[in-house]
Amino acid sequence: DQQVKQNSPSLSVQEGRISILNCDYTNSMFDYFLWYKKYPAEGPTFLISISSIKDKNEDGRFTVFLNKSAKHLSLHIVPSQPGDSAVYFCAALGQGGSEKLVFGKGMKLTVNP
């Protein structure tokens, strides 16, 4: 059973608009959430994270929102740029102190010029 779900495999947006990437999780023990970005032929790179004690974390154009009651988080990219085109993975950590990340299947974002 998949514990971290990214139900939309892809998203296409226009440059300058907002990109919203969604992620749901099922395990209430998760207490830390991360987003990774992956370009073709490269390894994933850490983008932004949020602790379960917060509901929002910002870093420049990237904001992650967490709704614990709904077990849902989202990544907002504003404004979107063509260089943001990549696969984005949502990941979760917790399960009683475990340091193993559990990843979603990923979502391919395409930002059109």
Which positions touch other proteins (CB under 8 A)? 6, 9, 32, 34, 36, 41-46, 49, 89, 93, 97, 99-106
**Which CB sits closer to other proteins, 43 or 113?**
43
Q: What is the layout of strands, in order, in the sheet containing 4-5?
A: 4-5, 19-25, 72-77, 62-67, 56-59
**Which CB sits closer to other proteins, 46 or 56?**
46
| Distance in Å, CB of 97 to other proteins, minimum | 6
Distance CA 91, CA 69 (A): 18
| Distance in Å, CB of 31 to other proteins, minimum | 10
Q: Three-state DSSP class for 84?
A: helix
